[in-house]
Structure 1
Amino acid sequence: MARIAFILLCHKDPKGIIAQALRLTQSGDYVSIHFDARANPADFDAIRAALGSNPGVTFAARRLKCGWGEWSLVAATLEAVRAAVAAFPAATHFYMLSGDCMPIKSAAYAHDFLDANELDYIENFDFFDSDWIKTGFKEERLIYRHWFNERTQKKLFYGSYEIQRRLGITREVPADIQVMIGSQWWCLRRQTVEKVLAFCDSRPDVMRFFATTWIPDETFFQTIVPHVVPRKEIRARTLTFLMFTDYGMPVTFHNDHYDLLLRQDYLFARKISAEAIQLRERLGALWQADDVRFPISNEAAGLYRFLTQRGRIGRRFGQRFWEAEGTLGRGHTLLLIVCKKWHVAKRLTAAIRWHTGIPAVNYLFNELDAELPDMGGIETTVEKRERHRRALVKMLFDQLESRCVAICLDPSALGLIQDFVEDKADTRLLLIESDFDDDYVRGHIERVGLAGRHSAPDYVNRLIPAVRSDLEHEADHIRDLDLDGFEVISPAWDEAQNAAALQRFLDVTPELALTLAQTDDLFAD
């Protein structure tokens, strides 16, 4: 019979961890715990006191300080896996869990499920050919070295990336591996885990490579397992049920989801709301239950899409994000950088990211790749972003962990600009003046579809005056808004004038503002 060693990575909620471990070990299974070294030492002491004498529980030999997107998460997992392999020779399977997971089947069902097929369960999709990564960094995760945490050391993270990019310092993927990607929630057989650990011990070159990739918990095991195990013995799926909202955030389950969860073809689910006490109690009792039938329907994903895409405010799934969060709120500062020449604004945002601690993204309502952080499905279409503009920007504040964020807008987006300046947040606007020579206007005519590359030159020349006038009037419309906190920089001004405007706009020191104003070729075409 299958016996599962659960690999539990956690950093909070000691009472929940203790309850989780007791529940899982009562069924004859095992738990190996890695508790984040950054967390409260008293919490870990409480866990050790409650579980230290439990023969079904072991602890990672080393506790690491973990950070999102870092190698430390993989290293912590390997520590817990090695501890479990050594402590539990009877374990047949190793199952990754978090403190937010709860069983949605009984232990008997889980054991029978794993006994039925000699398989590993881990998502593994081709890193380069699949669309698992919707937007943002993709190849950059691998070919550049990432030593810093993107969330807590943002300046260092993007600064080191920018230096490598500018100098062309890249690296090759180890020649004999195919990088794969997928969810970090896996269930592997003992022989597979032992092969993975042996691979880790024998291939320091691969370990060094993944140690400086970005978000390696989505690629490391997903790559190594197919490398050491025949593909026919792997199912590219997870046994942990999870769904994501339109904005890439995990769907949270509540008390009235019990029956729905049981009908899904999975063994565990995340995330269970901390306030769903009744649901947690029922699912906890379910793990110990006997003779429970589980008719599988798998309707949850389709039902969720149906309810949310219709915009229904339902009791079952609660309010949608943009209904509950319709304002950015006081205490936030939104910096709007408005410029028709996108390449100019991008030079400025790159300089802001490099020289200041202010997160700055590019034309998030115009381009898919806008220097956004990894936000899941929210970046899939530009139309979706604009439809829920305030929700998107509010999420940016949360994802970037900053109360001040700069974004770029095209001057044609007057409605967007008005919407943001009417918010309760402190909104400032910087207009970057542009000169529109004939060559630029011709290019703009092509970009907006007024003419094609093979259109008659006379036809295009007749359009130039009207289009140039329209471009210039866009800036006039913004000036006519008569906004507080409105600043302008211009290629016609000297560096001191532009620096003064940047100092007021960004609220930085005069020296730093002058450095930004002196950005190489800032206004160049």
Structure 2
Amino acid sequence: MERLKVAPMARIAFILLCHKDPEGIIEQAQRLTAVGDYMAIHFDARAKPADYLKIRAALKDNSKVVFSHRRAKCGWGEWSLVQATLYAVQAAVAAFPRATHFYMLSGDCMVIKSAEYAHDFLDRDEVDYIESFDFFSSGWIKTGIKDDRLVYRHFLNERKHKFWFYKSLQLQRKMGLTRQIPEDLQVQIGSQWWCLRRRTIEAILDFCDQRPDVMRFFRTTWIPDETFFQTLVRHLVPTPEIRSRTLTFLLFTDYGIPVTFYNDHYDLLLGQDFLFARKISPAAHEVKRRLGLLYAAKGVDFPISNEGATLFHFLSGRGRVGRRFASRFWEKESSLGRERELLIIICKKWHVAKRLADQIRQKTNIPTLEYLFHEEAADLPDLGGIQSTLEKRTRHRRALMRMLFDYYQTDRMVICMDPSGIDLLEDFCGDRAQTLLLDVECEFSDDYLIGHAKRVGLAGEQTTQDTLDRLLPTIRHDITFEADRIRDSEFENHHRIRESQSSTENAPVLADFLSTGTSTAQEILALDHLFTD
């Protein structure tokens, strides 16, 4: 009987680039190799010699640790970082023939899954994990020079010699000293934190030996650690075998600064769909201790919620609420029309506002439109393309509303709006047309807020109750904050109905908003499930 071939379980050779914290490096190496994995260490040649000797002495008897045969003097943005990586990779390939995967790490990284989980994860699919997006079209670079990274030669470090770096670049531009990108390469860009299979690593090393022209090109490219491996993997590996993502969880602020994690982030980190995380605060001793014990643990269940990135941008964005103090240039001479009335229903619970709008349409025949400035799929007529995207609708808001008034051949229209749209309210209330607001105040149970958090990506099905308990007050405060902003704006013609009040109490307010009789308002509010979640 023919024996079944069983694929070997993943064994990882970690490629560790570091330049400080010898105690932390020693602990990390011992921790990650204790369960059968390997590590190749490159310690920056610019770092303290005593630190390097301390690391070597502590790990000299660990057969699963190897040091790069040469050490580069590393500088941010320089080829030296790629060279250091290649030195460590070459040492790992030679020393660890049983390694199936090679995983890039820094001294600031910490494991957020067990070895059992990590090995099973890598065994699932025969693929490489590396961010690789088209350099020119992806928009991955947010600030700084872009094309100039490649088409000009860079011999100086921008951080150390800023004046001469840009002087050299200016001179090359002036003299037209551009260079050609190797014709057979489509340059890619992405994070330097990758995990590659052994055969991919071996193919890269062979390519480096065979293509000195490519090596020369990248040696004078600016920040090549974001392009070298990313480009070569795409060049050498079929697309179906590449997952364009990193397995290291990292976040950046709007200013390009890495987000640091602390002791109270332990549960959040474990819930992310990644194997490692960076950066962990040096002062976060408790989370380091707990994560340090994790890699050797057995039978740990990791419910993946994966809300980390969305949650960070939500919380950090709350402090940067944009306000405009003047009309946009395309709106200065535009108006909805002095004789027109725009009736705006403001409600955080969209389903409540939609039910109310539908009742108004049925009982009064006033055209109603739902969340056209918040919902991509809002039902709108074809207006020549201006209605096609949320961006266009918002940018040309007054022109859009004028066209909708004309399309429905009416001087009165009802639209629904989320309380977050304060800038929209300010614009429309500042128009020469009459704008009336109906604020629909709803009650928000914890169950509703949890559902809301899941709908907008702040939480997942596997998010722990402890995380939800800490998140709910923030969401509730955010809703209150939006409502207070609207009240503080003191808009004219501002009406308010409340879920906590009876239809008898709400009817006169709705009648005033719609300029209808109280009996019609009562008919509209008679819907039994108007406020039902």
TM-score range, shorter chain: 0.5 to 0.7
Alignment of 1:10-29 (within 5 A): 10-29=18-37
- Residue 101 (structure 1) aligned with residue 103 (structure 2): no
Q: 1:144 & 1:195 partners in 2: Cα distance?
A: 28
CA apart distance, 1:37: 0.3
Task: Say which of 140, 164, 174 aligns to 1:166.
Answer: 174
CA apart distance, 1:153: 1.7
- Residue 64 (structure 1) aligned with residue 72 (structure 2): yes
Q: Deviations over 1:369-389 (max 9, x none)?
A: xxxxxxxxxxxxxxxxxxxxx
Q: 2:141 & 2:78 partners in 1: Cα distance?
A: 17
Aligned to 1:276: 284
Task: Give the paired residue count.
Answer: 312
Q: 1:255 & 1:293 partners in 2: Cα distance?
A: 20
CA apart distance, 1:136: 2.1
Aligned to 2:216: 208
Matched residue type, 1:26:
A
CA apart distance, 1:311: 2.0
Q: 1:116 & 1:252 partners in 2: Cα distance?
A: 30
Aligned to 2:250: 242
Alignment of 1:275-424 (within 5 A): 275-311=283-319
Aligned to 1:321: none
SS at match of 1:33: strand
Aligned to 1:189: 197
Alignment of 1:96-175 (within 5 A): 96-175=104-183
Q: Deviations over 1:103-154 (max 9, x none)?
A: 0000000000001110100000000011101132111000000001111122
CA apart distance, 1:157: 1.3
SS at match of 1:62: coil
Flag structure 1 segments of 5+ consecutive residues without an equivalent.
Answer: 313-525
CA apart distance, 1:301: 1.1
Aligned to 2:343: none
Q: 2:243 & 2:18 partners in 1: Cα distance?
A: 26
Aligned to 1:43: 51
Aligned to 2:10: 2
Aligned to 1:33: 41
Matched residue type, 1:138:
K
Matched residue type, 2:34:
Q
CA apart distance, 1:280: 0.2
Per the normalisation by structure 2, the TM-score is: 0.58
SS at match of 1:244: coil
Aligned to 1:265: 273
SS at match of 2:105: strand
Matched residue type, 1:38:
R
Matched residue type, 1:9:
L
Alignment of 1:483-494 (within 5 A): none
CA apart distance, 1:268: 0.2
Q: 1:269 & 1:174 partners in 2: Cα distance?
A: 34
Q: 1:174 & 1:248 partners in 2: Cα distance?
A: 30
Aligned to 1:254: 262
SS at match of 1:8: strand
Aligned to 1:466: none
Per the normalisation by structure 1, the TM-score is: 0.59
Q: Deviations over 1:352-373 (max 9, x none)?
A: xxxxxxxxxxxxxxxxxxxxxx
SS at match of 1:304: helix
Flag structure 2 segments of 5+ consecutive residues without an equivalent.
Answer: 1-8, 321-533
Q: Deviations over 1:474-500 (max 9, x none)?
A: xxxxxxxxxxxxxxxxxxxxxxxxxxx
SS at match of 2:15: strand
Q: Deviations over 1:55-111 (max 9, x none)?
A: 000011101100000000000000000000000000000000000000000000000
CA apart distance, 1:158: 1.4
Alignment of 1:437-452 (within 5 A): none
Aligned to 2:98: 90
Aligned to 1:74: 82
SS at match of 1:128: coil
Q: 1:54 & 1:187 partners in 2: Cα distance?
A: 23
CA apart distance, 1:156: 2.3
Q: 2:316 & 2:187 partners in 1: Cα distance?
A: 34
SS at match of 1:67: coil
Q: Deviations over 1:1-32 (max 9, x none)?
A: 10000000000000000000000000100000
CA apart distance, 1:203: 0.2
Aligned to 2:231: 223
CA apart distance, 1:276: 0.3
Q: 1:302 & 1:178 partners in 2: Cα distance?
A: 31
Q: 2:153 & 2:267 partners in 1: Cα distance?
A: 46
Matched residue type, 2:185:
I
Q: 1:176 & 1:304 partners in 2: Cα distance?
A: 40
Q: 2:244 & 2:63 partners in 1: Cα distance?
A: 33
CA RMSD of aligned residues (A): 0.8
Alignment of 1:424-503 (within 5 A): none
Aligned to 1:381: none
Q: 1:16 & 1:8 partners in 2: Cα distance?
A: 12
Identity over the aligned pairs, expressed in percent?
71
SS at match of 1:31: strand
Q: 1:151 & 1:291 partners in 2: Cα distance?
A: 46
Q: 2:142 & 2:250 partners in 1: Cα distance?
A: 18
Q: 2:258 & 2:62 partners in 1: Cα distance?
A: 33
Matched residue type, 1:21:
A
Which aligned segments of 4 or more residues in structure 1 are displaced greater than 2 angstroms? none
Matched residue type, 1:250:
P
Point out the structure with max Rg over C-alpha.
2
